[in-house]
Every structure is written in C-alpha cells, then in structure tokens.
C-alpha cells in the first residue's frame, strides 16, 4: 500500500518576470519521511518552500499539505505547518520569553509559563529568557527562532537552512528534535547547502536544477562524497 | 498584537519621541506665523489643531507595520492560522493608544501656546477628537498595511490616506470650530453623525479587507 503523502507537489511553475524559477516541479513527502532539497543558489529551493508554506502563489501547478491546497485552502494548510525560513521572525525589542509568548498567542495557544520555559531550555536560552533579543548573537537568535518548534505540533515541517549559525549543542538538539518529529509521523522538507551531518536526517535527496527536480533518490548508503558527486553531476550541469 | 506593539514602543520610544518633537515644532511654527492677533487665531485654531493631529497621526500610522518589516516578521504574521482581522484590530488598538497619548499632549500644549480656554467645550471636544481619531486610525492602519511592503511607502501612504479622510477632516474641523465658539453639543450633532458613520464604514472595510491586503 502506498502511503498518502503529507506534502504533494505536482507540476509546480513559478515565474518572476521573464525568469522561470520553477518549471514543473513534482515532489512528494510521506508521513515519517524527511527530504533534503539541494540545489545551486537561485535553483528555486526557497521559492518552492515558500509556495508550500503558503507564502507565495504558484504561477501554475499544485501544492498540497496534508490534503489542503496551499492556495485555495491556505488557512487549513497553515494550521498543520511549522516553518523556519531564512528570517528568524523575532522582535529585537522584546525579550526571548516575550517573543515566544507573542507567537504562542498569535497561533491561538495559551502562553503557559512552564511551556515557554521548557521551549527556551530546549535551545539553551532559559538563562537569557528576560534579556532583550537585541543583545543576542546571530546563533542565539536562530536558536530562539527554532524554539518556536517546541510550542507547536505541526504535521509538516518546512525548514530553510535550519542548521545555519548553530553551535554543536544546538545542532544536536535540533537533530534530536527532527528525528523525534519524523518518528512521530511528521513530514520534513528541508532546503540545505550542506552535505554533512544534516543530511543524516534525510531519507531522500531531491536536487533542483533548471526549475525541476533533476534527481530524486534515497539517501541510504550515500556518504557525503557520494552526495557531492551527485550534486555536481546534476545541479551544476543543469543550472 | 496591541500589547506587543505598545511594549516595543515603550522600550524603543522611536515613534512617540518623534511625534512629540514634531508636534512641538509644528506648534512653534503656528505660533510664529500667526502672532498674537486673537481674531485671526480664533478663525484658524480648529484647523490648526486638526492639522497637528492629522500630521502626527500620518507619521505614527505610517510606522504601524514597519516594525514587522524591520524585524522580518511579516511572513510570520501570514503564517499564523486564523482570522487575520484580529491582527488589524490589534494594530488599530495599539495605534489608537499611541495617538491618544500624542493628542492629549498636543491639546495641552495647544491650550498653553495659544492661551485657549476650553472650559465647557472640553467634553464635547473630547468626543469629537475620539470619533475623529478612530476614523483616522481605522483607515490609516489599513493603508499602512497596504503600503508597508512597497518601495515609495512614505510618499504613497499620505497620498492614499488624506483624500479618504476628507469626511473625517470636514466633520472634525467644523465640529471643533462650533464647540470652541461655545455652541452646544446638539448644534454639531450632524457632524458627530457624519463622524460616527465614517468610523463604522472605515472599521467595517478594515476588518473585512485586511486579510486580502495582508496576503498581497
């Protein structure tokens, strides 16, 4: 029996002016599966994630999350999505705790003190809970952005370079968090430039080039050198 | 949303300080331009008062959504599931409170600078100011969201806003003029009705269309 994909992308096209960034992308991510999206700069990884995240409308084609169309039924799709993009989405003049409380309330959740403390402790920011984000380093800001993942229970996670700027401890925490998410039946689509340990989370690799998925292959059995070889063979040749 | 905006403003004081200095500068300019001629002053005072309110309101409202842009939080607002009109109402409440603070100080300075005796006109004047401020903030919050993501927003925002505010400007200036001339509140009831109707229309349009505007 074929598992129903939690993320279903079919014939997705996105045009910016005269530039066709996505030109018929087809990609599925099943429950309990993680797909790493690779590609050169400008290959369309972020554009693809933004369309699935309901932040951008496709020119043509379909993107669905847990059966909800990302354009026609965006509100339902958002309810099951967790998104971490390049932007950290945090207010510099609020404290770490206030930022988390605000986002919890914005999602209609209670800003329970224990829950906020737990989320901050997860990313090792509990000692900085009452410090304004303005005083945080780039890595601390990234960790605070990721702490939001502890406040929600999405079915699909869309991550754009989630490990960028993180120290080893935070990377380890995030890896554990994402493994647990997969084990719980969540679907993970992650754009990355790294061929290192981040790919250890992935069950499949999808390489974007020329506006399409140039290669979609299981990751099992591939080491970093294999991935680099595949990347050079597909991404660079076509983009 | 209102709590967050006011907390950020309390800490940064960027908008409040700018508005207070701007209002003070405006009153100084009016004072020098008009001189001590009482008759001349009486004729232009309502217009001057509302010019101060409108200009400080335009400056403040224009920044209402910049905090989202500057902190890279616009996308996160979009991603929040649920009724987006709650974001509009929250932004509106934050703007209203900020405008109320500035207008209270401008009114106090106005009394001092131009030696105006508000006396019995004050309750009626407060009602007119409240109705006018709701109208300005309702449509201003909507247009601030509309222009926050465009390049020429500083130019576009007042160009879009001011023509739509004509009924509010007309009603507030006329009602203020009559009240300062010691006419009873009943004499300006038609202007109050116009202001209330404009407020209802602007609020309804804001709540109903904010979702579309935020989604772009």
Maximum Cα–Cα distance across chain A: 52
CA distance B56 to A77: 40
CB contacts < 8 A, A to B, total: 57
**Which residue of A lies nearest to B14 if distances are taken between CA atoms?**
A93
Rg (CA), chain A: 18
* pLDDT for A239 beyond 50: no
Q: So what's the pLDDT on residue B42?
A: 75
The residue in chain A having the minimum alpha-carbon distance to the alpha carbon of residue B83 is A75
* pLDDT reported for residue A199: 80
Closest CA to A206 of A223, A189, A224: A189
H helices of chain B, in order, are 2-12, 14-34, 38-62, 66-70, 74-79, 85-114, 122-147, 153-164, 166-180, 189-215
| pLDDT tens digits for range B31-73 | 888 777 777 777 788 888 898 899 888 888 888 888 888 888 8
At B102, which helix (H) or strand (E)? helix B85-114
Tokens describing residue A221: 């059995």
Structural domains of chain A, ranges and CATH numbers in brackets: 5-80+156-238 (3.40.50.300), 90-153 (no CATH)
Percent above pLDDT 90 for chain A: 59
What is chain A's mean pLDDT, rounded? 89
Residues of A in contact with B11 (CB under 8 A): 93, 132
- Residue A195 pLDDT > 70: yes
Q: Establish if A181 touches chain B: CB-CB under 8 angstroms.
A: no
User: Which of A84, A106, A133 is most worth mutating to test chain B (most B CB atoms within 10 A of its CB)?
Assistant: A106
Q: Does B4 touch chain A (CB under 8 A)?
A: yes
CA distance A125 to A131: 10
A153 band by pLDDT with thresholds 50, 70 and 90: confident
Tell whether A91 lies on the interface with B, counting CB pairs under 8 A.
Answer: yes
A54 CB near a chain B CB, below 8 Å? yes
- CB < 8 Å from B in window 128-167 of A: 132
Taking the Cβ of residue A72 and every Cβ of chain B, the question of whether any pair is shorter than 8 Å is answered with no
Q: Helix, strand, or coil here: B40?
A: helix
Which residue in chain A has the smallest CA separation from B7? A94
A164 pLDDT higher than 90: no
Using CA atoms of B190, B192, B197, B199 in order, give the dihedral in degrees to the nearest 10.
160
Q: What is the pLDDT of residue A197?
A: 66
Length of chain B: 216
Predicted ipTM of the assembly: 0.81
Q: How far apart are CA B82 and CA A141, in angstroms?
A: 26
Q: pLDDT under 70 in chain B at which residues?
A: none
Q: What pLDDT sits at residue A1?
A: 44
Provide the pLDDT for residue A238: 46
A91–B12 CB contact, under 8 Å: no
pLDDT in tens, A33-78: 999 999 988 899 999 999 999 999 999 999 999 999 999 999 999 9
Q: Does B81 touch chain A (CB under 8 A)?
A: yes
Determine the Cα–Cα distance for residues A216 and A197; give it in Å rounded to an integer.
19
Of B12, B151, B141, B149, which is closest to residue B78 (Cα–Cα)? B149
Q: How far apart are CA B81 and CA B192, in angstroms?
A: 38
Chain B residues touching residue A106 (CB < 8 angstroms)? 1, 76-77, 80
CA distance A80 to chain B (A): 9
Of the two residues A110 and A74, the one the predictor is more confident about is A74
Report the chain B residue with the minimal C-alpha distance to residue A105. B1
Under the banding of pLDDT at 50, 70 and 90, the label for residue A223 is confident
Q: What is the pLDDT of residue A135?
A: 94
Tell me the whole-structure pTM to 2 decimals: 0.85
Are the CB atoms for A23 and A211 separated by under 8 Å? yes
B8/A contact by beta carbon, under 8 A = yes
With CA atoms as reference, the chain A residue closest to B74 would be A89
């Amino acid at each position: 029996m074929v598992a129903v994909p939690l993320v279903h992308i079919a014939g997705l096209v996105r045009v910016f002016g005269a530039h066709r960034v996505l030109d018929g992308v087809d990609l599925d991510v099943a429950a309990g599966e993680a797909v790493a999206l690779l590609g050169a700069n400008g290959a369309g990884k972020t554009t693809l994630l933004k369309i699935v995240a309901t932040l951008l409308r496709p020119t043509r084609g379909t993107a669905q999350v847990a059966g909800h169309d990302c354009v026609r039924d965006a509100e339902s799709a958002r309810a099951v999505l967790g998104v971490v993009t390049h932007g950290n989405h945090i207010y510099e003049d609020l404290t770490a705790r206030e930022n988390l409380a605000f986002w919890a309330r914005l999602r209609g959740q209670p800003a329970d003190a224990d829950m906020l403390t737990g989320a901050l402790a997860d990313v090792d920011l509990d000692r900085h809970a009452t410090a304004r984000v303005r005083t945080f380093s780039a890595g601390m800001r990234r960790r605070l952005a990721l702490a939001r993942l502890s406040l929600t229970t999405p079915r699909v996670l869309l991550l754009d370079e989630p490990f960028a700027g993180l120290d080893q401890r935070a990377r380890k925490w995030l890896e554990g968090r994402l493994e647990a998410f997969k084990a719980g039946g969540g679907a993970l689509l992650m754009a990355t430039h790294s061929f290192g340990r981040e790919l250890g989370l992935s069950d499949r690799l999808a390489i974007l080039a020329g506006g399409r998925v140039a290669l979609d292959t299981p990751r099992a059995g591939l080491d970093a050198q294999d991935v680099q070889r595949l990347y050079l063979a597909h991404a660079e040749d076509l983009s | 949303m209102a709590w967050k905006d006011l907390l950020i403003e309390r800490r940064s004081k960027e908008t409040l300080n700018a508005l207070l200095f701007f209002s003070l500068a405006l009153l100084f300019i009016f004072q020098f331009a008009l001189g001590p001629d009482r008759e001349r002053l009486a004729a232009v005072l309502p217009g001057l008062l509302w010019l101060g309110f409108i200009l400080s309101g335009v400056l403040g409202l224009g920044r209402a959504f910049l905090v989202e842009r500057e902190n890279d939080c616009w996308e996160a607002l979009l991603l929040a599931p649920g009724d987006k009109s709650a974001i509009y109402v929250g932004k509106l409440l934050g703007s209203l409170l900020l405008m109320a603070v500035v207008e209270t100080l401008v009114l106090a300075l106005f009394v001092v600078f131009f030696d105006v005796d508000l006396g019995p006109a004050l309750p009626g004047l407060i009602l007119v100011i409240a109705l006018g401020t709701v109208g300005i903030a309702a449509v201003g919050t909507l247009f601030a969201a509309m222009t926050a993501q465009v390049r020429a927003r500083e130019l576009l925002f007042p160009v879009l806003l001011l023509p739509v505010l004509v009924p509010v400007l007309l009603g507030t200036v006329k009602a203020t003029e009559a009240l300062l001339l010691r006419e009873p509140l009943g004499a300006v009831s038609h202007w109050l009705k116009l202001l209330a109707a404009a407020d209802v229309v602007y609020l309804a349009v804001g709540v109903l269309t904010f979702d579309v505007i935020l989604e772009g």
